[in-house]
């Protein structure tokens, strides 16, 4: 999986077949929707209270006669909800690594508990999904068209007929906006917004944001490049559209910008560079895509990469292009970048 597939949703790539079952068979597999198949204790309790209404970032209002008990979500969404005490029945998207460990996008979630409907791009087991008797499907959105992330294009019609869906936008806005929306969703599903844990997580995020703002103001000369590595291409991300880079820039971070022409060719997301041209943009710090489907810095063998000043200086840190949108998981991203800027040598 290249970064072009992973971070540019309008180029969704060649998607895998989304299930061989006919819609009639899938609907039959659903059974009733009374949630008897389970759910966490918190969601079971919440389901008794009903009704439930939530207006998502597509402007779609979902109304149910009770709070959903059987939630199916994109892995990153499930991880965020877990941080707020809301558990899901099923997940789709990068959940486990080839070694069987939790993928970085699974956060602190116990990946042995939910049913995994698909672990890779294009995978979504409709039969398993139907068997969960889902009350709602939740995913993020990386475009303005309301495309639900990791819901396969060719099978989405079958999938979306089985339960209502909710989309939370992580497109062309800043982290705090998406954080507020995800928390609002979690609260609607039974999370306690007034809990000490959430209050503390919010405070730590705000502290980290101020630290990054201060670091960026003190070191405006430090250039930060957002990169991602695949076998043949190195991708340089622009600061627009991505919620983390937009926020970093708003806090004053000096983000390296690809050429306008190159960004236009990718829909505004990134520029493709060959490894021979990886030194096109000088940078003091490189923040690298940490997703398991991309090549990690320690595994890059290209000589041109190793010669980069930021690499030679050890000024390469991780970045999460597909954020787990919870205060708990976003805080380290701010702290790590702030620390890198505070300690960075001017090498570009």
pLDDT tens profile 185-207: 999 999 999 999 999 999 999 99
37-41, 83-87, 165-169, 337-341: segment of lowest average pLDDT? 37-41
Going by pLDDT thresholds of 50, 70 and 90, the confidence category of residue 249 is very high
pTM of the model: 0.86
Going by pLDDT thresholds of 50, 70 and 90, the confidence category of residue 50 is confident
Kindly state the average pLDDT of the residues 151-172: 97
What tokens were used for 257? 């910008």
pLDDT tens profile 63-87: 999 999 999 999 999 999 999 999 9
Phi first, then psi: what are they for 206, rounded to 5°? -65, -40
What is the reported pLDDT for 49?
65
Interatomic CA distance for residues 289 and 108, integer angstroms: 19
Backbone CA torsion sign across 136, 141, 143, 148: negative
Interatomic CA distance for residues 281 and 245, integer angstroms: 17
Interatomic CA distance for residues 176 and 246, integer angstroms: 11
Give the residue among 115, 138, 149, 118 at the shortest CA–CA distance from 68. Answer: 138
Burial of 185 (0-12, 13-18, 19+ CB in 10 A): buried
The CA distances from residue 195 to 198, 206, 209, 238, in Å, are: 6, 17, 21, 37
Kindly state the average pLDDT of the residues 34-47: 39
What tokens were used for 186? 């979690």
Q: With 70 as the cut, is the pLDDT of residue 177 above it?
A: yes
What is the residue-averaged pLDDT of the chain? 88
Question: Cα 187 vs. chain centroid, distance in angstroms?
Answer: 19
Kindly state the average pLDDT of the residues 7-21: 30
- 59 secondary structure, DSSP code: S
What is the reported pLDDT for 51?
95
Interatomic CA distance for residues 113 and 109, integer angstroms: 9
3-state DSSP helix/strand/coil percent for the chain, to nearest 5? 35, 20, 45
């Amino acid at each position: 999986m290249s970064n072009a597939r992973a971070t540019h949703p309008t180029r969704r790539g060649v998607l895998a077949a989304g299930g061989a079952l006919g819609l009639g068979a899938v609907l039959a597999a659903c059974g009733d929707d009374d949630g008897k198949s389970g759910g966490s204790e918190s969601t079971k309790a919440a389901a008794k209270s009903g009704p439930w209404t939530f207006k998502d970032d597509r402007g779609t209002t979902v109304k149910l006669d009770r709070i959903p008990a059987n939630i199916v979500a994109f892995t990153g969404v499930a991880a965020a909800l877990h941080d707020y005490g809301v558990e899901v029945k099923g997940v789709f998207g990068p959940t486990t690594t080839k070694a069987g460990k939790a993928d970085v996008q699974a956060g602190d979630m116990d990946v042995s508990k939910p049913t995994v409907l698909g672990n890779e791009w294009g995978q979504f087991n409709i039969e398993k999904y139907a068997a969960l008797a889902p009350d709602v499907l939740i995913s993020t959105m990386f475009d303005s068209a309301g495309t639900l992330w990791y819901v396969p294009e060719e099978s989405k019609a079958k999938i979306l007929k089985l339960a209502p869906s909710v989309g939370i936008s992580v497109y062309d806005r800043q982290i705090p906006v998406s954080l507020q929306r995800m928390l609002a969703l979690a609260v609607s599903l039974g999370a306690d917004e007034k809990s000490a844990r959430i209050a503390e997580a919010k405070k730590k995020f705000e502290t980290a944001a101020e630290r990054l703002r201060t670091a960026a103001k003190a070191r405006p000369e430090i250039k930060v490049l957002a990169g991602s590595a695949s076998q043949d291409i190195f991708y340089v991300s622009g600061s627009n559209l991505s919620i983390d880079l937009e926020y970093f820039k708003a806090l004053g971070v000096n983000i390296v910008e690809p050429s306008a022409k190159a960004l236009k060719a990718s829909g505004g997301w990134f520029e493709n560079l060959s490894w021979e041209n990886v030194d096109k943009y000088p940078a003091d710090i490189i923040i690298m895509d940490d997703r398991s489907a991309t090549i990690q810095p320690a595994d890059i063998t290209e000589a041109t990469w190793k010669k980069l000043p930021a690499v030679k200086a050890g000024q390469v840190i991780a970045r999460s292009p597909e954020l787990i949108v919870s205060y708990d998981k976003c805080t380290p991203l701010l702290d790590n970048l702030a620390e890198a800027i505070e300690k960075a040598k001017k090498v570009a």
